[in-house]
Amino acid sequence: MIKTAAGARPSDLLPASILGLLGSRGLMTRAELATALRVSPATITQVSKDLMARGMVLELGQIASAGGRPARPLALVSSAGRIIGVKVTATHLAVIAAALDGEILKTWTLPFEPGRPEALDTAARTLVRVLGEVDGQVLGVGVAIPGVVDSLESGVADSPTIGLHNAQVGAVLRQRLGVPVLVENDVNALAVAEQVYGVGREYSTYLVVTIGRGIGCGIVIDGQVYRGATGGAGEIGHIPMVADGPPCPYGHSGCLESLIGMPGLLSKAAALGQNNTVESRDLDSDIATIRRLANLARSNKSFAEGLFGWAGQLLGGALAGAVNLLNPEVVVILGEGSEQWDLWEPGFEVEFRAKLLASRRSIPYLVEGWDEDKWALGAAALVLSSSFDRDGSTGYQGEMVRERLGIASSIGGKR
Ligand SMILES: [Zn+2]
């Protein structure tokens, strides 16, 4: 359950939270909203009346509710806003425009060369063009970056894997685009997408683990993404697994990611005699290579065990450690590598269960299908989730999103 609005600034946040919930979940009755937001039904009635008067929410015909009493559900007026999501990669920007219910309306793939000094400037210019192609008011832009981001509000990013160092992503884009910009680590953005559109509807404490080029983990505790003291929490890929192993981009050796991230898998395959396995800088060709290896593994049991079984076992051990440490209710596994999960699963299942504390041995995990738009939808969800901002982590940018929803200043009679 998403918890919000009961914190420090309920008069600001409650209308935004109602809009955010209706946007992400569709129709809801006032009673359902009151339960989800942990406020009284009378408060919901009062605030929703104001939102209806502003033309942002409408009341639909009666439906039978659980208690048998008919109720009139509320819905968002669909023109209330558009959200933009940008996933940054080593070679391009994957961009989507979405409606508030998460429906993807349009996608763009824009060239991006993060190593060049003018990279951010070029990105800003192409994104200005994208914004011009979007119908309806843009509430904000969410940006998901593989690496450490200091805060959603300031958006300074460090990403050695794609060659971005101390990049002022938030400041540059905000100034050039003229809309709120929220920047986050890409795996944390996926965790936010799960919060708004996925498992967050049923669970409040969970891990979102990605397998693919890198190995990442978003941590959601009591309905909030846990970012750590400086924004770098969840680096499960840099848990040391073996005393001396392959190097990682941060200068360690033997990290989980250096072993079973995509480049690690390719070197392991080479060590198993697949000498034509060459790692490239190009994710698409690496994915093609992994698919070829997976086909081979499906007809060669010992190769399957030696490569994917071994990788699944390492992942299972590391993840069991994370579950023992954080005690989540569920684990979600996704990312481009989840396509081969049938091959990872046997090794994973045995090691994961074996290394869990007895009291959590039955924890479920869900493996989700994958496409690149999911990263970008995660970025877009950052904008919507700023409506639920309980601890102020989205700062002034989050306030601006709420301003654009037309609700920050006058409802509730404060500020
Ligand atoms: Zn490392």
pLDDT at 387: 64
Please check whether residue 20 lies inside any domain of the structure: no
Q: Is the domain of 264 the same as that of 122?
A: no
Planar angle of CA 181, 186, 187, nearest 5 degrees? 135
**Mean pLDDT to the nearest integer, 187-198:** 87
Q: Is the domain of 228 the same as that of 268?
A: yes
pLDDT at 53: 81
Cα 260 to middle of ligand 1, angstroms = 12
Q: Is the domain of 260 the same as that of 168?
A: no
Please check whether residue 415 lies inside any domain of the structure: no
Name the residue with higher pLDDT: 159 or 346. 346
C-alpha closest to that of 36 among 5, 2, 74: 2
Query: Is the full-model pTM beyond 0.85?
Result: no
DSSP 8-class letter at 145: E
Asked if residue 10 has pLDDT above 50, the reply is: no
Structural domain that includes position 130: 81-193+373-393
Please check whether residue 126 lies inside any domain of the structure: yes
Q: Is the domain of 171 the same as that of 220?
A: no
d(CA 107, CA 112): 16
**Mean pLDDT to the nearest integer, 28-38:** 87
Please check whether residue 22 lies inside any domain of the structure: no
pLDDT at 129: 95
Cα 96 to middle of ligand 1, angstroms = 31
pLDDT at 4: 36
Cα 239 to middle of ligand 1, angstroms = 7
pLDDT at 66: 53
Name the residue with higher pLDDT: 159 or 5. 159
pLDDT at 6: 37
Cα 154 to middle of ligand 1, angstroms = 25
Q: Is the domain of 147 the same as that of 205?
A: no
**Mean pLDDT to the nearest integer, 28-53:** 87
Alpha helices in 9-67 (DSSP H): 10-25, 30-37, 41-53
Name the residue with higher pLDDT: 111 or 390. 111
d(CA 2, CA 243): 41
pLDDT in tens, 316-353: 999 999 999 999 999 999 998 999 999 999 999 999 99
Cα 259 to middle of ligand 1, angstroms = 10
Cα 243 to middle of ligand 1, angstroms = 12
pLDDT in tens, 221-277: 988 889 898 888 999 999 999 998 899 878 889 999 999 999 899 999 999 988 676
Counting the structural domains of the chain, the total is 2
Cα 348 to middle of ligand 1, angstroms = 21
d(CA 350, CA 352): 6
Cα 296 to middle of ligand 1, angstroms = 29
Q: Is the domain of 181 the same as that of 230?
A: no
pLDDT at 414: 34
pLDDT in tens, 261-275: 998 999 999 999 886
Radius of gyration of the chain (CA): 22
Please check whether residue 61 lies inside any domain of the structure: no
pLDDT at 153: 86
Cα 36 to middle of ligand 1, angstroms = 39
Cα 189 to middle of ligand 1, angstroms = 21
Cα 256 to middle of ligand 1, angstroms = 8
pLDDT at 251: 86
Please check whether residue 40 lies inside any domain of the structure: no
pLDDT in tens, 64-87: 555 556 678 888 776 668 899 999
pLDDT at 7: 38
Cα 233 to middle of ligand 1, angstroms = 14
Percent of all residues in the chain with a pLDDT value above 70, rounded to a whole number? 88
Q: Is the domain of 211 the same as that of 281?
A: yes
Cα 17 to middle of ligand 1, angstroms = 38
Q: Is the domain of 108 the same as that of 167?
A: yes
Q: How do 74-76 and 330-334 pair as beta strands?
A: unpaired
Domain of 301: which CATH number? Answer: 3.30.420.40
Please check whether residue 57 lies inside any domain of the structure: no
Please check whether residue 219 lies inside any domain of the structure: yes
pLDDT at 144: 95
d(CA 141, CA 238): 29
Q: Is the domain of 248 the same as that of 139?
A: no
Q: Is the domain of 384 the same as that of 282?
A: no
Cα 237 to middle of ligand 1, angstroms = 7
Q: Token digits for 414? A: 């404060």
pLDDT at 295: 94
Cα 257 to middle of ligand 1, angstroms = 7
Average pLDDT score over the chain:
85
- Which of the four pLDDT bands, split at 50, 70 and 90, describes residue 291? very high
Q: Is the domain of 266 the same as that of 206?
A: yes
pLDDT at 78: 60
Q: Is the domain of 121 the same as that of 220?
A: no
* Residues in Cβ contact with 363 at an 8 Å cutoff, skipping those fewer than 6 apart: 323, 328, 329, 330, 331, 356
